[in-house]
Amino acid sequence: MKLDINISIPDLWGNKKFQKNEWGNINYLVGPNATGKTRFVEQLKQQCQNQNIKVRYLSSERLAGLERQRYEYFGYSALESGLNMGQFAVLKNFGTNYGLSADAFVTLKEKLDIKIKIEATLSQLFGRRIRLVEEGGFLKPRIQKIDVGNEYGPEYGLKESECHGLKELLTLLTFLYNDDYNCLIIDEPELHLHPQFQTFFLQELRKIAGNPLNSPEKKIFFIVTHSPYYVDIRTLEDLKHCVVFQPDKPPSFIDQIDSEDERRIKRLLPRLNTHHKQFFFASRPIFVEGYSDQQVFSLIQEKRGKPLGALVACIIDVTGKEELDLFFKICKKLNIDAKFVADLDVLTKGKLRQSVSEDDRCRAYLQTEGIGRDLMQVIGDAERAISACLSELEPKLADTSESNLQNFRDALCKASELDKKRYVYLLGLRYLREQIKSLISSNTKEGSFLEGRLQKIIEAFKRSGVHVLSNGELEHYLPEYKDDKYTISDAAKVRTFEQERDFILESNLTEGEIHARYGELINILDEATCPKEIDMDLYLTHAIREWIFKVQSAYNRGEVKNMDSLKINATIDWQSHSRIFDLVEFSLDQDGFICRIRLRPLLDPKEREVKFNNLVSAANYQLEKN
């Protein structure tokens, strides 16, 4: 549908603007909190109205007046007292202006067809029948429970405390079926609805979605959501009409996709589940190869006390490098700062190599290093060097008596495909570097050339957001894995994961022990998540400065002489401050007083002590770092 939308939010985006002229029947506005989605739809509503679109906006506070909260118009519960029929016009006006939904009951009163449809739906979903009763000029919704055998129970008034899901779905469906509007903008339609009802509402919405300019009975929808259940992307067109918000920049959307990527992404879409769709809502999604990677990384972060949610990050497991590559392309087009963790064999096979090679960050790094701009060419040079080394190495391995080299030789022999043989060689370099170097003659320049190139290739991947597990696979980093380095069976993967998971969950490791066990994985996690430490000291220091000043002032006035008089002094306000520290000592000496406090563990796990006297400069006091 043709709709010219041009939106600017200077305090969020600077002088940049959002422009989009083609919209789908259902458009998803998604992204993390505090990225401007609600402010965006306020302008969107006005611009749609300016183009003769009959818009109804339902805000995330749309149930105001139908629950326990006050609004400018609703100084009471509209459900408890009923809706004043003499003020229907005012009610509609408030609903339209503020995005409220209480006038849904007015629609049910005025439009019998919608009322019948809503009654039938609610009776099936909730086992409730709704009836609107006029009493003394007020419209009051009444509810009857439908028992087994379709018997009606006693009737009662719909209370403000009644099932929020019932009220939510009742009002949403009313506006969905109401033909007064041909465009609905709904902010967080998932509120109060469990996943099955979210799915039901989306199914009903799809029945009505369409271009209202061609079919007047149809509606266009803009859905602002944080729920992966609502992001129902079935086709490439659905994906193109998904607008993704990120901090400090205008939202992005996919405009064009080349034919080869279209074919591959089309095959991916049916496999997108609610877990995959988290990447639409995270500031920093991290894609990994498999559920064990996802579980282990998440458990490590949790054990470190650095939950991913606090970083607005999430770890998403996908099925192999093919899907890693597709998500790499999708995230790049949507301007999502995604990270990827790939096994070492990403250097020897798969399309992700080509996608990284085309990334500007990769090209800039290679150019800075003076080795061109084409990563695939650099990889090709490395592959030729591996082949040269293997040509010299394999005959020498035939008669080796060293067990480590025998295992390496056997793995090379079992590698039937060239890319697998190259991968085995890379693992050999990782674990048998000196032994392999001793077998390659000093005049084989490819050996020394290769090691330098490999480091630059891995760094080029990282510059593009792809972190390569240079040890091989996840299992190579886990102490519980003790089997073959070159070929890890599925059974070994499962066994190692279960053992490592149980160890993490059951152990009580210190921070140092966690780093000693998972140091290399933690480095990858920190690089991928860019963790930000919460600086509690800044705010503790401010609170302590104020309290020092209060204690000094009370002492100078002669109001405090010991701990008891300090605690009851009104200006010192010990009751409030006792929540952040304990009073250890307050005593007088010939120079004045000495005071010691100990920070409470909720705010300071190390329970640091602070000591001050009447001569300390409160304004310049600085809490010592941990």
- The 10s digit of each residue's pLDDT in 531-571 is 666 778 899 999 999 999 999 999 999 999 999 999 999 99
Mean pLDDT value across residues 508-529? 92
User: What pLDDT, in 10s, does the model give residues 485-497?
Assistant: 999 999 999 999 9
Q: Measured between alpha carbons, how far is 266 from 268 in angstroms, rounded to an integer? A: 5
Asked if the structure places residue 587 within a domain, the reply is: yes
| Contact of 475 with 485, CB cutoff 8 Å | no
Q: Which residue has the tokens 């409470």?
A: 600
Question: What is the per-residue pLDDT for 439?
Answer: 86
Question: What is the per-residue pLDDT for 137?
Answer: 82
User: What pLDDT, in 10s, does the model give residues 83-134?
Assistant: 777 777 777 777 777 778 778 888 888 899 998 898 888 777 777 777 777 8
Global model pTM greater than 0.95: no
Asked if the structure places residue 561 within a domain, the reply is: yes
Question: What is the per-residue pLDDT for 135?
Answer: 81
Question: What is the per-residue pLDDT for 573?
Answer: 94
Question: What is the per-residue pLDDT for 506?
Answer: 92
Asked if the structure places residue 239 within a domain, the reply is: no
Question: What is the per-residue pLDDT for 79?
Answer: 60
Among 121-130, 270-279, 515-524, the range scoring the smallest mean pLDDT is 121-130
Q: What is the DSSP letter of 302?
A: H
pLDDT: which is higher, 301 or 85:
301
C-alpha separations of 85 from 310, 469, 473 in Å: 48, 68, 69
If one counts the domains in the chain, the total is 1
The alpha carbon dihedral of 595, 600, 604, 605 has a sign of positive
Question: What is the per-residue pLDDT for 596?
Answer: 97
Residue 161 has pLDDT above 60, yes or no: no
Asked if the structure places residue 23 within a domain, the reply is: no
Beta-carbon contacts of 461 under 8 Å, excluding residues fewer than 6 positions away, are 342, 346, 347, 356, 362, 467, 468
User: What pLDDT, in 10s, does the model give residues 420-430?
Assistant: 999 999 999 99
| Contact of 248 with 302, CB cutoff 8 Å | no
Among 190, 182, 79, CA closest to 140: 79
Buried b / exposed e over 163-199, threshold 16 CB at 10 Å, is: eeebbbbbbbbbbbbbeebbbbbbbbbbbbbeeebbe
Asked if the structure places residue 128 within a domain, the reply is: no
Task: Give the count of alpha carbons within 13 A of 360, CB side only.
Answer: 1
Residue 69 has pLDDT above 50, yes or no: no
Q: Which domain holds residue 580?
A: 536-620
Question: What is the per-residue pLDDT for 156?
Answer: 75
Q: Measured between alpha carbons, how far is 431 from 436 in angstroms, rounded to an integer? A: 9
Asked if the structure places residue 116 within a domain, the reply is: no
Asked if the structure places residue 497 within a domain, the reply is: no
What three-state secondary structure class fits 96? helix
Among 59-68, 283-292, 372-381, 434-443, the range scoring the smallest mean pLDDT is 59-68
Question: What is the per-residue pLDDT for 97?
Answer: 78
Provide the token pair at 491. Answer: 């059974």
Q: Which residue has the tokens 């679109």?
A: 53
Among 318, 385, 326, 354, CA closest to 461: 354
The full 3-state SS of 245-297, as one line of letters, equals EECCEEEECCCCCCHHHHHHHHHHHHHCCCCHHHHHCCCEEEEEECHHHHHHH
Q: Measured between alpha carbons, how far is 15 from 6 in angstroms, rounded to an integer? A: 13
Asked if the structure places residue 506 within a domain, the reply is: no
Residue 373 has pLDDT above 80, yes or no: yes
Question: What is the per-residue pLDDT for 73?
Answer: 44
Mean pLDDT value across residues 164-192? 90
Q: Measured between alpha carbons, how far is 211 from 200 in angstroms, rounded to an integer? A: 22
